[in-house]
Structure 1
Amino acid sequence: MEEYLNLYHRKMWEIAFGHVEKVFGVFLVILLVLSIFPIYIYFNSLVKRKKLVLSLTCIPLCLIFLLCMVAEYAHSYDKIMNPSSPYNDSLRIASVKPENALPILKHVDEIPLASIDGELKREDIILFAVSNPIYYDGLFEDVANSLAGDRTIGAAFLVALVGYEEKNGQWQSVDIRIAPGIEEKDFQKFSKVLHIKKDEAEGATSIIYKLQNFYELKLWVEKNGYGPKL
């Protein structure tokens, strides 16, 4: 479960720092257009001065970027990492969706699979699912979303169910592999097998319940040819 939570938190940090990169990228382009290009033209014949001007321009920009990253880290740390944060309750951690949530999984049989331990076999995978960590309290989120014209709050990763233990019709644990993203290249980066037991950590029981539900619905559809959407 620890590996799952580590990736879950990493995805939220990607969202938070992605907002900083988006904002900085826009302002960097603006500054380059407004300052460096005219100066470059003016000092076109003075190579040494060009280098000095570029250095004096780039160094403050790098410092501003680092300061923004530090500010985002300080602002978001408690929200992302604190166990009592709303982002770390069972429902958020177990924000797992069935495999039809991703169009790419409709063609998964055509995608090569691999894992870091080299032991993943396609026939071992019972079903795929998608975990979708969200984070919408970033310090730079509103500015980044305004500049981009859209809203980025989620960063999904893949879950492959490869085994489970059952007692009286209820799953007690699952074996899963996780991959760092939802692009085709991520299907070659599945983790080693992770064993998750009920009540071992926040979100574990909810993950098991959801995966069992997805699996039973999948069996129903395969048997009857119809049923509720997965």
Structure 2
Amino acid sequence: MEEYINLYHQKLWEIAFANVEKVFGIFFIIWLVLSIYPVYISFHNLVRRKKLVLLLVCMPFLLFFLCMGTEYVYSYDKIMNPNSPYNDSLRISVLKSEKVLPVLENVDEISIASVDGDLKRKDIILFAVPNPTFYDGLFGNVANHLAGGQTVGTDFVVALVGFKENKGEWQSVDIRIAPGVEKSDFQKFSKVLHIERGEKEGAEGIILNLQTLHESTLRKEKNGE
């Protein structure tokens, strides 16, 4: 479960820092345009021009790292605090059907592997897609206005490879997780992660959601859908 939570947090950080990168990208373009004139007027003074170019090159990068550090400090408590709404069991355990990802429409054609080399396509009962979502980054609103869109969620993939049930209720699951949703990520599934009810915040929700997805898949197959 710990590995699942770590990847969940990693995805939240990716969203927060992606907003900084979007804002910086727009700023950097503006900075380059505004830098043309001062460099041009100092063209005949070689020493002055070198100093100016060095200053113009260093300042955006210093500002970028400052913004990254500021975002980290601002978002840390929201992402990492166990009492944060982003660590609520319902958010952690949200799992969607594999159908939400275009990359999984032809999943049998994708080469699949794991870090321990023990994963085969026939071992996978079903795929599910968690979607860590983060709305409260410091640069989120600015990124939305400047870059024309805000990253609020980042998917990764769960492969269910086993489960144990008692009286029709799943008590535990064995899963593997991929770090992302690109085809290359399907070569990097983790080792088997065993999750039991009551193990940690979100564990029961993950088990229940996987059981629901599995039973829904079986019903559709039975009805020929």
Residue-by-residue CA offset, 1:103-125 (whole Å, 9 max, x unaligned): 22111111111111111111100
Residue-by-residue CA offset, 1:161-214 (whole Å, 9 max, x unaligned): 001111111111101010111111111111111111111000000000000111
Whether 1:157 and 2:156 are equivalent positions in the alignment is yes
In structure 1, list runs of 5 or more residues that go unmatched. Answer: none
Q: CA deviation at 1:43?
A: 4.6
2:112 and 2:83 map into 1 onto residues whose CA distance is: 36
- Percentage identity across paired residues of the two chains: 60
Whether 1:15 and 2:15 are equivalent positions in the alignment is yes
Matched residue, 1:216: 215
**Number of aligned pairs?**
225
Pairwise CA RMSD of aligned residues? Answer: 1.4
Question: Which shifted more, 79-88 or 100-109?
Answer: 100-109
CA contact (8 A) 2:157 2:181 kept: yes
1:45 and 1:112 map into 2 onto residues whose CA distance is: 58
Whether 1:24 and 2:24 are equivalent positions in the alignment is yes
CA contact (8 A) 2:94 2:209 kept: no
Residue-by-residue CA offset, 1:12-64 (whole Å, 9 max, x unaligned): 000001111111111111011111x2344445566654432221112222221
Q: CA deviation at 1:221?
A: 1.1
1:108 and 1:205 map into 2 onto residues whose CA distance is: 27
Matched residue, 1:135: 134
> Which aligned pairs between 1:1-230 and structure 2 lie closer than 5 A?
1-35=1-35, 37-44=36-43, 49-226=48-225
1:108 and 1:43 map into 2 onto residues whose CA distance is: 58
Q: Scaled by the length of structure 2, what TM-score is found?
A: 0.95
1:161 and 1:62 map into 2 onto residues whose CA distance is: 43
Q: Scaled by the length of structure 1, what TM-score is found?
A: 0.93
CA contact (8 A) 2:19 2:150 kept: no
Question: Which shifted more, 142-151 or 6-15?
Answer: 142-151
